A = this chain, B = another copy of it.
Amino acid sequence: MTDLANALGLRLPIFLAPMAGDVARPELVAAVSEAGGLGQLGGGYLAPEALRASVRAIRQRTDRPFGVNLFVPQRTSIESQHVDAFRKVLAAYYAKLELAQPDPIPESEDHFEQQVAVVIEERVPVFSFTFGIPRDVQLEALRKSGAYLMGTATSPAEAMALQAAGVDAVVAQGWEAGGHRGTFLQPTDEGMLGTMALVPQVVDAVSLPVVAAGGIADRRGVRAALALGASAVAAGTAFLATNEAALPPAHREALRGPRAAATRLTRVFSGKLARGVPNRFMDEVERCTAVVPPYPITHHLTRPLRAEAARRSEVDYLSVWAGQCAPMARRCSACDVLLELAAGIGNGP
């Protein structure tokens, strides 16, 4: 048992990596917390009241600690003609699914401000964030509410920036991790470190507990991460196919498919680099020369397309976020996965 787990009142130093979107429902978050780990809700896309409802749904299912993860808004800008050009690229796909194309929705600072307010009002035990660092006043208010604060780093430099901001722990997100990269400092290449290289360098760079994420899918990965100096591990992909995860059938199919072994980073779904199982949309849109507008513009421009594709089980147009351990994701209960991961604690290699 690690100090971090004790500090959070957990039986196991094993976290459910926050997965924004429809996969990590309150059922999955609560199941992981109930089993002794830390369930985390990926709340980035949720409107404030939907976030509140999810938090309460988790509390209805468990009185154990859990976490909420949010996306820190980043200042971005792009010329409107680039947005128009990218919407033209998407037009063909919307036509194919007989959908009307949405207008771009501008990023709103308020959205995050309101989400944070919900986390504070609901007294969420653990607050983790990615894509940047909240403003000092926000961190201070969260701290006052009793929240344990964790920031996401993809390099030693980012870990040091988080420590300077006063977080309680750092999540070291390795190259292998599925979904969005948390990278928020330049140069990007520093944010592409594999977990094996990243964790020891982050452990040496900061004096805080480090949570290892990326490529950890069974007891061997947990043992390895702890050996590297991590105080806890975060696993997402390993829980993707569990009964408690609301994985649409088409996603499940893609996870079992031949391309699950070749996940790669792409910007074409959201405007931000994220790792997923390649499909036709990724292949085609990555090839075209149009500039991909930054997050969250592209996220909003492709969202109805992905939702309709999921409804139709149309694998070609889905964003199937998954890490490099996608082929290891098993269909079983969240508790089974947690028990497998827990077997890696406290034993030597």
Q: How many residues of A contact B (CB 8 A)?
A: 47
A216 touches B189 (CB 8 A): no
Among B200, B221, B262, B323, the residue within 8 A (CB) of A220 is B200
Q: Which of A154-208 contact B (CB under 8 A)?
A: 155-157, 174-176, 187, 189-190, 192-198, 200-201
A194 touches B215 (CB 8 A): yes
Judged by a CB distance under 8 angstroms, whether A324 is at the interface is yes
Q: Which residues of B contact A187 (CB under 8 A)?
A: 262
Q: What's the Cα separation between A347 and B190 when bound, in Å?
A: 31
Q: Which residues of B contact A229 (CB under 8 A)?
A: 220
A189 touches B262 (CB 8 A): yes
Nearest CB of B to A211, in Å: 14
Judged by a CB distance under 8 angstroms, whether A150 is at the interface is no
Candidate in A156, A263, A324, A325 with the most chain B CB atoms within 10 angstroms: A324
Judged by a CB distance under 8 angstroms, whether A99 is at the interface is no
Stoichiometry, as copies per complex, reads: 2
Candidate in A174, A195, A197, A216 with the most chain B CB atoms within 10 angstroms: A197
Judged by a CB distance under 8 angstroms, whether A119 is at the interface is no
Contact with B along A198-236 (1 / 0, CB 8 A): 101100000000000011111011011111110000000
B217 touches A193 (CB 8 A): no
Judged by a CB distance under 8 angstroms, whether A346 is at the interface is yes
Contact with B along A261-292 (1 / 0, CB 8 A): 11110000000000000100000000000000
A195 touches B192 (CB 8 A): no
Q: Which residues of B contact A106 (CB under 8 A)?
A: none
The 4 closest A-B pairs by CB, nearest first: A348-B348, A194-B194, A196-B215, A197-B215
* Interface residues of A, Cβ cutoff 8 Å to B: 155-157, 174-176, 187, 189-190, 192-198, 200-201, 214-218, 220-221, 223-229, 261-264, 278, 323-325, 327-328, 344, 346-349
